[in-house]
Amino acid sequence: MDKETGDYTPYLDVRERFVDNFHNHAGLGTGFGFVEHHPEYAENGIFYTVHTEAGSALTEDEPHFPAYGGVNYHSVVTEWTADDPAAEVFSGTSRELMRVPFAGRVHTLQQIAFNLTVSPGDPDYGMLYILSGDGGNGVGNDNPQDLATPHGKIFRIDPLGDDSDNGQYGIPADNPFVGTEGALGEIYAVGMRDPHRISWDPEGDHTMYLGHIGE
């Protein structure tokens, strides 16, 4: 945006890229959700977005996570790679990292974030945290505690890896449930209703803080 005139140049219209199935309607978890840049964006041009899909996506695109209580929406994490990270308008490529099914349109995938308090060489450097809500149906059941389902969890993945079930990202070997029978290796934390916002203290021990919406 021009600081003097207030004029801006649209960088990327995510809705337009997925317009056939893009879903933005009443509900606290649809439409365009979040954008996060890779820690080395200035060099590699990589960033990530979250958006919601419905329509033909529900029958044509298969999530590699199990559903719970039906499927009415998909949350999609996309990786974008800019040809020129300094360009004012996006030009480049994209690929889908993950697709998570939800029964309800509230509490779907929320924020995605990198821990920017760590440096290269730290095990957490470049690991992408993905906040997954309960789809609105976690009250009165134990789905958010079920290690076999993606709902009501915090994921931690290596977006540049390839050993996930769909081959589009990596599973960090130090994730807490790696090797646990029946558990999704992506899971970092369980038992959430709507893990809404996450950040790390830039000082001290760089403690993680989570804003969580309950009922």
Structural domains in the chain, CATH included, are 14-213 (2.120.10.30)
pLDDT for the residue numbered 1? 63
Q: Which of 166, 143, 164, 162 is closest to 153 using CA atoms?
A: 143
187-189 and 194-200: which strand pairing?
A: unpaired
Q: For residues 154 and 203, give the distance between their C-alpha atoms in angstroms, rounded to a whole number.
A: 23
24-33, 107-116, 189-198: range with lowest mean pLDDT = 24-33
Output the average pLDDT for the chain: 93
Across 171-178, average pLDDT: 97
Across 17-34, average pLDDT: 88
Q: How confident is the model at residue 28 (pLDDT cuts 50, 70, 90)?
A: confident
pLDDT for the residue numbered 140? 85
Bridge partners of 195, per DSSP, are 212
Bridge partners of 130, per DSSP, are 112, 155
